[in-house]
């Protein structure tokens, strides 16, 4: 998706729901094959992030991995969803994406298959965008914190770094809820 196509994304409007829905009622393909049934994440908070390998924000992978290393043993799940919706900044091949993430950032958290998160969003991403006090990703590395019950707790912008005090405080609160 080029810059013109990316610009057109911002003209699309997303209808919101009045009450939160259960975001764990979705399935999504995994980058290395198979399917992630998000119901298996129930009982733990999950940080869901749209990622891209060729973005100026790509170094956030390091911070996301650090969050997973720090809080994973306490139950935090991190799910990255590669997407080329914003200026085609994602590699095309699953093996290339996986290799890039592991080689450059040591990513061990869950990575989904490459999906659309805004242009023609995967159902999970459409549902994330419709939640009260939410919206679609505005760029790569938008972050959505989902509670243990599957309800959206908070949405963080692309520019919110993974080590920001606001994000880590929200994760800690979700882990102790």
Catalytic residue selected from 22, 30, 55, 135? 55
pLDDT digits (tens, 9 = 90+) for 75-110: 999 999 999 999 999 999 999 999 999 999 999 999
Q: For residue 88, which phi and psi values (nearest 5 degrees)? A: 50, 45
pTM: 0.92
d(CA 82, CA 62): 15
Q: Taking the domain 3-175, which CATH number applies?
A: 3.40.30.10
Burial class (CB in 10 A: 0-12, 13-18, 19+), 73: exposed
Helix (H/G/I), strand (E/B), else coil: 170: helix
Lowest mean pLDDT among 10-24, 58-72, 158-172: 10-24
pLDDT digits (tens, 9 = 90+) for 115-130: 999 989 999 999 999 9
Contact 110, 80 (CB under 8 A): yes
Q: Can 101 be counted among the known catalytic residues?
A: no
- The chain-wide mean pLDDT, for the chain, equals 93
Structure-block tokens of residue 10: 């911002």
């Amino acid at each position: 998706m080029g810059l013109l196509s990316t610009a057109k994304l911002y003209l699309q409007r997303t209808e919101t729901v009045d009450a939160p829905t259960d975001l764990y009622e979705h399935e999504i393909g995994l980058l290395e094959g198979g399917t992630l049934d998000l119901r298996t994440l129930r009982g733990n908070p999950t940080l869901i992030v749209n990622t891209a390998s060729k973005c100026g924000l790509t170094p956030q992978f390091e911070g996301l991995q650090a969050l997973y290393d720090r809080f994973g043993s306490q139950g935090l799940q991190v799910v990255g969803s590669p997407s080329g919706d914003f200026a085609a900044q994602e590699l095309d091949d699953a093996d290339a994406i996986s290799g890039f993430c592991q080689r450059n950032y040591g990513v061990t958290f869950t990575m989904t298959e490459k999906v659309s998160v805004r242009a023609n969003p995967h159902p999970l991403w459409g549902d994330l965008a419709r939640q009260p006090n939410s919206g679609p990703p505005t760029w790569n590395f938008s972050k959505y914190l989902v509670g243990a019950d599957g309800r959206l707790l908070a949405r963080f912008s692309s520019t919110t770094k993974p080590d920001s005090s606001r994000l880590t405080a929200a994760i800690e609160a979700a882990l102790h809820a």
